[in-house]
Structure 1
Amino acid sequence: MADLVRVIYRKYDGTLHWNTTMRRLGEDEHGVWLGQPAGGTTRKGTGPPVTVECAHVALFPRDAWWTAEFNAPPRRTDLYADITTPPRWRSAAEVTMVDLDLDVARWRGQREPRLLDEDEFAEHRLRYGYSEETVARATASAQWLMAAVAAGTAPFDGAHLGWLEQVAEG
Structure 2
Amino acid sequence: MSSSWVWRRGRKLKRADHVHGWWWEAVLGDDEHGQWAAQLAQAPTFLRDGTVFRMADAVIRCYPRDEWWVATFYGSERGVTFVRPGGGVDERLNPNAIYVDMSTPPEWTEAGISFVDLTVDVVKRYDGTIAVLDEDEVDEEARKWATPAGQLAQARHSRARVEGFMTAGVGVFGVVAESWRDRFEGCR
Given the two structures, how large is their TM-score scaled by the length of structure 2? 0.82
Q: Which amino acid aligns with 1:118?
A: E
Larger Rg: 2
Residue 2 of structure 1: CA displacement? Answer: 6.8
Report what 2:176 is aligned to. Answer: 159
Structure 1 position 28 matched with structure 2 position 46: no
Q: Which runs of 4+ in 1 moved over 6 A?
A: none
Residue 95 (structure 1) aligned to one of 88, 113, 127: 113
Higher RCO, Cα 8 Å, sep 6+ = 1
Residue 137 (structure 2) aligned to one of 115, 120, 129: 120
Judging changes above 3 Å, is the alpha-carbon distance between structure 1 residues 73 and 168 closer, same or farther for their aligned structure 2 residues?
farther
SS of 1:11's partner is strand
Could you report, residue by residue, the CA deviation over 1:7-59 in whole angstroms, capped at 9, with x for unpaired residues?
01110263211210101111100000000221111111262432222111000
Residue 166 of structure 1: CA displacement? Answer: 3.3
Residue 76 (structure 1) aligned to one of 95, 104, 111: 95
* Corresponding residue pairs, total: 168
Q: Which amino acid aligns with 2:174?
A: D
Judging changes above 3 Å, is the alpha-carbon distance between structure 1 residues 5 and 46 closer, same or farther for their aligned structure 2 residues?
farther
* Structure 2: segments with no counterpart, 5+ residues: 78-93
Given the two structures, how large is their TM-score scaled by the length of structure 1? 0.91
* Structure 1: segments with no counterpart, 5+ residues: none
Contact 2:73 2:99 in 1 (8 A): yes
Contact 1:37 1:168 in 2 (8 A): no
Residue 158 (structure 2) aligned to one of 135, 141, 145: 141
